[in-house]
Amino acid sequence: MVDVATNLSNIQQNIRQACENANRNPEDIRLIAVTKYVTIERAKEAISAGIDNLGENRNEGFLEKYNEIQDQAKWHFIGSLQSRKVKDIIDQIDYIHSLDRKSLAKEINKRATHPVHCFVQVNVSGEESKHGISPDEVITFIKSLSVYENIKVVGLMTMAPHVEDPENVRFVFKNLRNLRDKIKEEALPHAPCEWLSMGMSNDYHVAIEEGATHVRIGSKLVG
């Protein structure tokens, strides 16, 4: 297995190139190492390599790593979160990338002891296998969250279909960016919606060219 530092160097070069293509600043990109399939030791190797954002998608896997690593990293919950499990992790998680229903927002608001930074998950591609709300429901949904003092919508998240040529999913990232821009125009106090969580190991360079601020990379970074 290639060491994380070598993988990180390659990815950072690709990020710089994508930013150059889009006339963006690489410092505006937050790289999240998706550690859901790797050991605690591999996650610690990522931190040693200079990565300070880790992503998990299961409560159990997150808590195992959190108990060892704790505040050495910012923690991103990137998987579908069951309402009944919110209480187990809510005060350890820094960002939730999968807010997609009112019942989940209600539970987060009830259990959190401070405002939680949330990305609203949008199913841009319309795939039945993907979580997220449909694009035409996003603005209404976000406006409805204003009653929850512990919910702060910092951005939108989507997952593009896995395809051989990432150019074929560029439209997914572009559509999410356009939707984010519409929400920003609303100037909602509880939803600044500055960020875009989109792009994974196979398509992050295209996502960055289309405005991604947070890319979630697993296999090409930590394995």
Kindly tell me if the per-residue pLDDT of 14 is higher than 90.
yes
The residue segments making up the domain with residue 23 are 4-217
Helices (DSSP H) in 138-191: which residue ranges? 138-144, 170-186
Residue 25 forms part of a structural domain: yes
Mean pLDDT computed over 87-103: 96
Residue 223 forms part of a structural domain: no
Residue 204 forms part of a structural domain: yes
| 151-157 and 195-197 beta bridge pairing | parallel
Residues 142/193, Cβ–Cβ less than 8 Å: yes
pLDDT, averaged across the chain = 96
What CATH number does the domain containing 151 carry?
3.20.20.10
Buried b (16+ CB within 10 A) or exposed e, 195-215: bbbbbbebbbbbbbbbbbbbb
DSSP for 29-47 reads PEEEEE-TTS-HHHHHHHH
Give the whole-number percent of the chain exceeding pLDDT 70: 100
**Cβ contacts of 195 within 8 Å, gap of 6 or more:** 119, 154, 155, 156, 180, 213, 214
Q: How many structural domains is the chain composed of?
A: 1
Q: Report the alpha-carbon distance of residue 144 to residue 153 in Å, rounded.
A: 11
Residue 34 forms part of a structural domain: yes
Kindly tell me if the per-residue pLDDT of 121 is higher than 90.
yes
Residue 222 forms part of a structural domain: no
User: pLDDT digits over 137-175, tens only?
Assistant: 999 999 999 999 999 999 999 999 999 999 999 999 999
Mean pLDDT computed over 198-212: 97
Residue 48 forms part of a structural domain: yes
Mean pLDDT computed over 60-88: 95
Q: Which pLDDT score is estimated for 26? A: 97
The model's confidence at residue 129, banded by pLDDT at 50, 70 and 90, is confident
Question: Cβ-count burial of 51 within 10 angstroms (0-12 exposed, 13-18 middle, 19+ buried)?
Answer: buried
Residue 172 forms part of a structural domain: yes
Residue 116 forms part of a structural domain: yes
Of 48-52, 86-90, 128-132, 166-170, the one with minimum mean pLDDT is: 128-132
